[in-house]
Structure 1
Amino acid sequence: MTRPRLASFHAEGADRYGVMTDRGMIDLWPRFRDRWASLQAVVEQGDLLELADLGEKYPVTYFENEITLLKPLASPEKIICVGVNYPDRNEEYKDGQEAPRFPSLFPRFARSFVAHGQPLVRPTASEQLDYEGEVVIVIGKGGRHIAEADALNHIAALSLCNEGTIRDWVRHAKFNVTQGKNFESSAAMGPWLIPFTDEAQIADIRLTTRVNGEVRQDDRTSRMIFSFRRLINYISTFTKLVPGDVIVTGTPTGAGARLDPPVWLKPGDVVEVEAEGIGILRNGVVDEAAQ
């Protein structure tokens, strides 16, 4: 089953949204901008499935080479990332500890992400730019103290993330990774949103990260330590989730920091994050100094 791919994009001097097909982009912004100014507004109003259904009625407007994809959501209120959420990833720490009882969480800022097709930026402050392929869930229905049994009803869509990390900067402080996770344009999100309809979409999908065509990460969501249901339940205990919030759900083993010796991303590299039923997020790498 092919699910609709709802994307934000730029064409002819304007930021737009529409449905990406194998033939090209169906531009829906001119038809519906009075109702929904952006794809984020569609999510916030709970209308993603309606827009997907409407989009199938119209012809392709642009070929893929005539548009520039943007981040699906320009400015979510919250981007919450999950650390150490696959068993082999926990074992990488070699500290003898069992899987944690509670998820490790940290925030990311919207400005630290670029879109599909845009380059990740290796900063002048460090050469230790690393990759982390992850599945993203987008909240469509807000709430506090959301029960695990009801949690999936709060998901609007799925996407992908390369949660780029500056490794030495996550170790600058004793308990804090925020600075190493928020360098400008060090991560990517996209390429689009896949409307969420049922648990089968995420229960056991393969998540793979490739660098220059070489598989570096490869695991399945069924092996996550903290399920999608549990993450929504836990996070909503301490903060109110609102429509448009993003949860980046954790990366498998195989990041460059854990290779022997470590292998960091460098200018000219191409990173691809792929998940079944969602798509491929692809980004090159450039130096900040060269921009």
Structure 2
Amino acid sequence: MKLVRFGAQGQEKPGLIDSDGVIRDLSGIVHDIAGDVLTPEGLARIRAANPADLPAAPESVRLGACVARPGNFVAVGLNFADHAAETNNPIPSEPVLFNKAPNCVVGPNDDVMIPRGSTKLDWEVELLIVIGARARYVDEADALKHVAGYAICNDVSERNFQIERGGQWTKGKGNETFGPIGPYLLTADEMPDTSNLAMWLEVNGEKVQNGSTKTMIFGVAHLVSYISQFMVLDPGDLITTGTPPGVGLGMKPPRYLKAGDVMRVGIEGLGVQTQTVVPFKL
């Protein structure tokens, strides 16, 4: 299933995309795409519905973030061998973890706002894991049973905040609008293999990232298992899994986003996002 949230910001309704590409309103079936709705029991309620019996959403309706109100938003750094090389970092022996602020999550086509004081705003196409069952000290062999599905994440990053301001990477990863996710959540049963998905990102029509999940150092099952050794993952939590090469930081000379730039972000089987960069505003 392709699950979405649609409508004005703060007023989104749950939906699914039917076989004809029409968004169907699920608000009579589930309260939102979040938490217990993403458990096997919650997804079973959705699967039992006949899409043709559900009302259609208005055409050209805004898509919100495909998961509402995540409790935790975990990110994995330097998880692509070719990206580690472009940033002059060694390949990690264990996953590098940091957090993005859960409230940085926005819709897939919402604007990305330049933070106050930003000088090095960057892009990162990433595969997003959405948790569907509580994960606590999970074995890698059982890890995929805890995944509800997958989506695209643009792990927007401010490199000055992240690298040059001391402390942890979190500083440059959790600003407002730094977490566009969607356009839809594809349930895990429809994507049993995530090991070789094409990934790309364009800035103003120029393809700057053109990679594949095949160069991931740590795969989905390993990451879910590994992270569950350090924290409990609950249904609706998010894990964004690292980016292939082609980020602005790795260019020679480095290249960063400015107001008016447009990003298009895609992963095979998971659709496309489009964001416009806008100036800071209160």
Any idea what the Cα deviations from partners look like across 1:107-147, whole Å, max 9, x if unmatched?
Answer: 11122222122100012311311100001010111121111
* Residue number in structure 2 paired with 1:8: 5
Query: How far off its partner does 1:44 sit?
Result: 4.6
1:274 matched to which residue of 2? 266
The correspondence for 1:170, drawn from 139, 162, 165, is 162
Q: Report Cα offsets for 1:251-276 as digits up to 9, x if no partner.
A: 11110111122211112211111111
- Aligned partner of 1:56: which letter? P
Deviation at 1:194, TM superposition (A): 0.6
- Provide the secondary structure at the position in 2 that maps to 1:54: coil
2-structure distance, mates of 1:49, 1:135: 24
* Matched AA of 1:18: G
Change in Cα spacing, 1:14 to 1:233, as seen in structure 2 (3 Å) is: closer
Give the whole-Å Cα distance in 1 for the aligned partners of 2:237 and 2:9: 29
Once residues 42 and 239 of structure 2 are traced to their aligned partners in structure 1, the CA distance between those partners, rounded to angstroms, is 19
Per-residue deviation at 1:11?
Answer: 5.9
Does the aligned pair in 1 maintain the 2:126–2:242 contact within 8 Å? yes
TM-score normalised by L of structure 2:
0.92
**Larger deviation: 108-117 or 15-24?**
15-24
Out of 14, 19, 36, the residue aligned to residue 16 of structure 2 is 19
Matching residue of 1:181: 173
TM-score by length of 1: 0.89
Name 1:62's counterpart in structure 2.
57
Name the CA distance, whole Å, in 1 between partners of 2:8 and 2:156.
27
Give the 3 Å change call, closer, same or farther, for CA 117–199 of structure 1 in structure 2: closer
SS at match of 2:12: strand
CA distance in 2, matches of 1:12, 1:265: 24
Once residues 262 and 113 of structure 1 are traced to their aligned partners in structure 2, the CA distance between those partners, rounded to angstroms, is 26
- 2:83 is matched with 89
Note if 1:109 corresponds to 2:104: no
Matched residues, percent identical?
A: 32
Give the alignment's Cα RMSD to 1 decimal: 2.1
The number of residues matched between the two structures is 280
Deviations 1:223-252 (A, max 9, x none): 210111110111000111111111001011
What residue number does 1:150 align with? Answer: 142
DSSP-derived class of the 1:229 partner: helix
User: Measured at CA, do residues 5 and 219 of structure 1 come closer, stay the same or move farther in structure 2, by a change above 3 Å?
Assistant: same
Runs of 5+ in structure 2 lacking a partner? none
Question: In the alignment, what sits opposite 1:71?
Answer: 65
